[in-house]
Amino acid sequence: MEKRPFINKDQLEAVCAEYPTPFHLYDEAEIRRRARALNAAFSWNPGFKEYFAVKATPNPWIVSILAEEGCGCDCATGVELTLAEACGVTGENIMLSSNDTPDEDYRHAAELGAIINLDSLDMVDCLVRALDGKLPKMVCCRVNPGGTFSSANGIIGNPQDAKFGMTVPQLMEAFSRLAELGVEDFGIHAFLASNTQENDYYPRLSRQLFELAVRAHEELGVHVGLIDLSGGIGVDYRPEDAAADIAAIGEGVREAYEQVLVPAGMGDVRICSELGRWMLAPAGGLVTRVIHEKLTYKDYLGVDACAANLMRPAIYDAYHHITVMGKEDEPAERAYNVVGRLCENNDQFAHDRMLPLTTIGDLLFIHDAGAHGFSMGYNYNGALRSAELLWREDGSVQQIRRAETSADYFATFDADPRFSSLAKK
């Protein structure tokens, strides 16, 4: 399947005339479309809620758009809780799903009325300590069944290698102890695979969690009112990849719900998801310009972006499709390595990538960077993080985060007057 940007060359050059490259550009229409498709796929469950994984794209403009579409926030830290609150997302529209959680984050979540998701058995005592024994009526726990996780096409995840979640016996013990402490409603959460391309991942996971919920209800007498399927639904990074069918996924979960929970008298269970990548990755791209070309043992295109703007290729060797703007219909007949300026050899967006003949000055659109793109940025070599722009539904462009300046980089050197002046540069 062909991949094309949501913006054409002339439009993008007009944007660049006002906002210099590199920058991240998000498509508001696609964000809303994906949120609506997800909600429609799970409309059979009256309590369904998408808790957008804030870590994927922690921008209040993005979070606010999703909140308008009925989405909540999945937060991992106190800072993300603060961002959610600033966007008007409060109460049980927030889920705190964290690990190695400090007491102050538990207190912050409780003050907001958020659902707290415990990652390990010892966190029961941590929660009691942090909240002085005044536990909320509803608590969620994250389970890791271990082993491997398979789809119809084979193994797609290795939960036993993950640091997240508690074992099934630990989950049962946590529920028992929490019930003794006055908790009345329970949730079960699990994340067993990442970026899955299979439509049966959620249905298989949900069946496993539904069966566990029935077991907890029957053995412990507790009420499980929430099943959190977390994230894991992937996107089609490569043109040949098949996109996940969210409608088919929702229907698969419904079938498991009807077969497992309803016969057990648990037809009131709410389903939720925590999708970050699926919600935002295809709705954003990194825009960068070719500023150098070097011919040595390979043909290197040097661009004004680097791994500080999008580090997934550097740390995962992840594939991100690249469009040379204005040359979408030209044959891809030359192999290039597309690289940034950092003093690390892994600062490369593509290796031996076949592209049309590309020259200095060409604009590149790096696809599917709307999630885990800007958010994973860093300042190695003093690289400054780029601006974030929103391509509005009416065709206008709005800057939703300005680019960093050297003053931002030096702002924390304020303990000594010899260095505090750097923050003014």
Provide long-range contacts, Cβ within 8 A and 24+ apart, for 109-115: 109/75, 109/81, 110/134, 110/136, 112/81, 112/84, 112/85, 114/75, 114/81, 114/90, 115/139, 115/140, 115/187, 115/226
Q: Which of 61, 17, 49, 20 is nearest to 284 (CA)?
A: 61
Number of alpha carbons in the 13 Å side-chain half-sphere of residue 285:
25
**Residue type (1 letter), 341:** R
Distance CA 76, CA 108 (A): 12
Q: Which two tokens stand for residue 370?
A: 């709307």
Dihedral (CA of 131, 132, 134, 140) sign: positive
Distance CA 190, CA 329 (A): 43
**Residue type (1 letter), 187:** G
- Rounded to the nearest 10 degrees, the angle between the axes of helix 201-220 and helix 168-180 is 50
Using an 8 Å Cβ cutoff, are 330 and 357 in contact? yes
Say if residue 203 is preceded by a cis peptide, omega within 30 of 0. no
Q: Which two tokens stand for residue 64?
A: 């606010």
> 112-124: b or e for each residue (b if 16 or more CB lie within 10 Å)?
bebbbbbbbbebb
| CA angle (336, 342, 345) in 5-degree steps | 55
Q: Which of 384, 376, 400 is nearest to 60 (CA)?
A: 400
The catalytically annotated residue of 71, 73, 272, 343 is 343
Using an 8 Å Cβ cutoff, are 55 and 374 in contact? no
**Residue type (1 letter), 172:** M
140 is catalytic: no
Using an 8 Å Cβ cutoff, are 175 and 121 in contact? no
Q: Which of 230, 310, 288 is nearest to 57 (CA)?
A: 310
What residues are labeled active site? 343
